[in-house]
């Protein structure tokens, strides 16, 4: 589940609309939003507990926007943003300007659905902070020499992933779960594309994605929303829409194959004493299935309950050798076009691990999913308590203006900002029938990816059993889509 929620749940239900500005339109005390004529969304969270202001700019882009030829270039573009712009000629000047603002912490990140840049400044420097990011986003230098140097930095990060067991596992599963477009969930990128990147390609990304109608500004802390809106119009108002702006993306198929894809990974970080099994399927996507994500989140919370039916069923299956409920998991991850459902278990390495993995798959897809669809099983009993717990948990996730705005930023990228503001009421309206409908639509009868991680020594002993059982062996050489396809 992505971060979605409120500064305080109590603020939602106890809000006095008369005490909030009429232009707020958010239903949350102290939180204001406005859309400029050029399409830029601006969000302000007032919180005067400290004389600081958080400033973020987010762009709907990243892995989800990629094609094979530019996979990794959004990551490279993020790096190039720090190399100077129309006011600050190079990285040294750029960093000096940031230091002069009194920035304590700053960062930029490229994910599957979003690229964002953010820092915290003294509140009396908030206008300068907003202008700083405006210059970085709207007028980056994209110097050819700097581009060549920065390629080496990005390539070293990609090569680091190539030797990371966690990244190898992620890449292998992603290539099977999204066989038509694995590059769309690989925000790190394709080293061959990065090596051949040009300034012209960087400018194409700028014209198509770094545009106001695809971006949002978030400001929070000891600030006034009226003043921030005025600053936004002064600083960003001249930012022109682009005729080349990219809107939606093509959503990959939900059923990944005619049968379950089975993978085994001889993983040096896996203990000889355990077998890790994961079963992953495609879930609802924020761009086209947002209405189903609420049931997905409630289902996820129910399935994760330590004393819930799912965990009890898995632990009581003696063939799985699961110590207790802490070693079983299930969940759903919200994303714009790459929603995922997952089941997992750490099983004691007793007996044949290939057979144990198949039993795990059967226990999930037959026993557990069957119970989830059966009204009399009790899987959804206590749904009101679960929904309340899910709602209350966000109180602690959003204890600061930065936390609230980070949550909106995530929703802005994956489902649209309105999703954030309506989330709680929609989630609390999910019924038991909605949960069963979700299971029927996205899990029951659908084919996903079974991924099994064992130690190299365990794999060596049972390699024939895995291969005879239809498992493909994962290696660093075949895990990454760009390597296996020779791109």
CATH classification at residue 75: 3.30.830.10
Give the global pTM: 0.90
Q: Residues 126, 273: one domain? A: no
Averaged pLDDT, 213-239: 97
Residue 25's pLDDT is 66
- Domain ranges, residue 348: 261-484
Q: Is the pLDDT of residue 9 over 80?
A: no
Averaged pLDDT, 306-318: 96
Number of domains in the chain: 2
Burial class of 179 by CB neighbour count within 10 A (0 to 12, 13 to 18, 19+): middle
Mean pLDDT of the chain: 91
Residue 380 · residue 310 · CB < 8 Å: no
Residue 462's pLDDT is 98
Residue 153's pLDDT is 95
Q: Residues 60, 187: one domain? A: yes
Which of 201, 236, 271 is the C-terminal boundary of a domain? Answer: 236
Alpha-carbon distance of 436 to 372, in angstroms, equals 7
Residue 432's pLDDT is 97
The label of the residue with tokens 């399927």 reads 281
Out of 62-66, 71-75, 282-286, 387-391, least confident range: 387-391
Q: Residues 72, 175: one domain? A: yes
Residue 246's pLDDT is 81
Q: Quick one: pLDDT band at residue 21, thresholds 50, 70, 90?
A: very low
Q: Is the pLDDT of residue 19 over 90?
A: no
Alpha helices in 45-164 (DSSP H): 73-80, 91-100, 126-138, 144-162
Residue 473 · residue 333 · CB < 8 Å: no
Within a domain: 7? no
Within a domain: 6? no
Q: Is the pLDDT of residue 247 over 90?
A: no
Q: Is the pLDDT of residue 11 over 60?
A: no
Q: Tell me phi and psi for residue 426, to 5 degrees.
A: -70, -40
Q: Residues 226, 303: one domain? A: no
Within a domain: 92? yes
Residue 396's pLDDT is 67
Q: Residues 401, 359: one domain? A: yes
| Residue 70: half-sphere exposure toward Cβ, Cα within 13 Å | 19
Q: Is the pLDDT of residue 344 over 90?
A: yes
Residue 392's pLDDT is 82
Helix (H, G, I), strand (E, B) or coil at 222: coil
Q: Residues 159, 267: one domain? A: no
- Which helix (H) or strand (E) segment holds residue 121: the answer is strand 115-122
Strand 261-266 versus strand 274-282 pairing type:
unpaired
Those residues whose C-beta lies under 8 Å from the C-beta of residue 53, and which sit 6 or more positions away, are: 120, 121, 122, 123, 125, 126, 129, 219, 220, 221, 222, 223
Out of 192-201, 282-291, 417-426, least confident range: 417-426
Q: Residues 59, 206: one domain? A: yes
Q: Residues 151, 101: one domain? A: yes
Q: Which of 343, 176, 363, 185 is nearest to 276 (CA)?
A: 343
E runs forming strands in 153-249:
215-221
Q: Residues 166, 231: one domain? A: yes
Q: How far from 95 is each of 103, 240, 316, CA to CA, in Å?
A: 10, 27, 57
Q: Residues 155, 295: one domain? A: no
DSSP conformation class of 365: I
Q: Residues 200, 297: one domain? A: no
pLDDT tens-digit readout, 437-475: 999 999 999 999 999 999 999 999 999 999 999 999 999
């Amino acid at each position: 589940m992505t971060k979605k929620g409120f500064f305080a749940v109590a603020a939602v239900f106890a809000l006095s609309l008369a005490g909030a500005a009429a232009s707020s339109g958010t239903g949350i005390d102290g939180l204001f939003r406005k859309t400029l004529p050029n399409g830029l969304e601006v969000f302000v969270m007032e919180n005067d507990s400290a004389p600081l202001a958080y400033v973020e700019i987010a762009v709907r882009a990243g892995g989800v926007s990629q094609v094979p030829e530019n996979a990794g270039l959004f990551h490279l573009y993020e790096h190039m943003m720090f190399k100077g712009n129309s006011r600050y000629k190079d990285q040294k000047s750029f960093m000096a300007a940031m230091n002069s603002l009194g920035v304590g912490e700053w960062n930029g990140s490229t994910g599957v659905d979003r690229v964002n840049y953010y820092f915290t400044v003294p509140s009396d420097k908030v206008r300068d902070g907003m202008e700083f990011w405006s210059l970085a986003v709207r007028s980056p230098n994209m110097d050819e020499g700097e581009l060549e140097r920065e390629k080496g930095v990005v390539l070293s990060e990609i090569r680091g992933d190539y030797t990371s067991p966690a990244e190898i596992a992620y890449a292998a599963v992603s290539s099977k779960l999204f066989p038509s477009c694995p590059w769309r969930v690989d925000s790190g990128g394709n080293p061959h594309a990065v090596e051949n990147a040009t300034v012209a390609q960087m400018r194409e990304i700028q014209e198509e994605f770094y545009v106001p109608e695809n971006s949002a500004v978030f400001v929070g802390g000891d600030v006034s929303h009226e003043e921030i809106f005025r600053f936004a119009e002064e600083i960003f108002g001249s930012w022109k829409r682009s005729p080349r702006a990219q809107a939606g993306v093509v959503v990959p198929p939900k059923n990944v194959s005619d049968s379950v894809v089975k993978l085994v990974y001889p993983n040096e970080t896996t203990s000889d004493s355990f077998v890790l099994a994961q079963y992953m399927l495609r879930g609802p996507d924020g761009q086209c299935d947002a209405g189903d994500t609420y049931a997905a989140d409630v289902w996820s919370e129910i399935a994760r309950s330590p004393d819930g039916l799912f965990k009890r069923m898995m632990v009581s299956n003696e063939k799985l050798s699961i110590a207790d409920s802490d070693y079983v998991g299930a969940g759903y991850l919200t994303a714009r076009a790459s929603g995922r459902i997952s089941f997992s278990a750490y099983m004691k390495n007793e007996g044949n691990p290939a057979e144990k993995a198949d039993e795990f798959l059967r226990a999930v897809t037959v026993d557990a999913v069957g119970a989830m669809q059966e009204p009399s099983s009790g899987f959804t009993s206590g749904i009101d308590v679960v929904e309340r717990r899910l709602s209350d948990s966000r109180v602690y996730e959003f204890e600061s203006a930065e936390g609230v705005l980070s949550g909106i930023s995530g929703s802005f990228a994956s489902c649209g900002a309105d999703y954030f503001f309506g989330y709680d009421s929609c989630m609390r309206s999910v019924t038991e029938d909605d949960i069963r409908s979700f299971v029927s639509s996205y899990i029951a009868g659908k084919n996903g990816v079974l991924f099994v991680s064992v130690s190299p020594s365990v794999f060596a002993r049972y390699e024939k059993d895995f291969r005879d059982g239809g498992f493909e062996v994962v290696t660093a050489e075949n895990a990454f889509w760009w390597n296996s396809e020779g791109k």
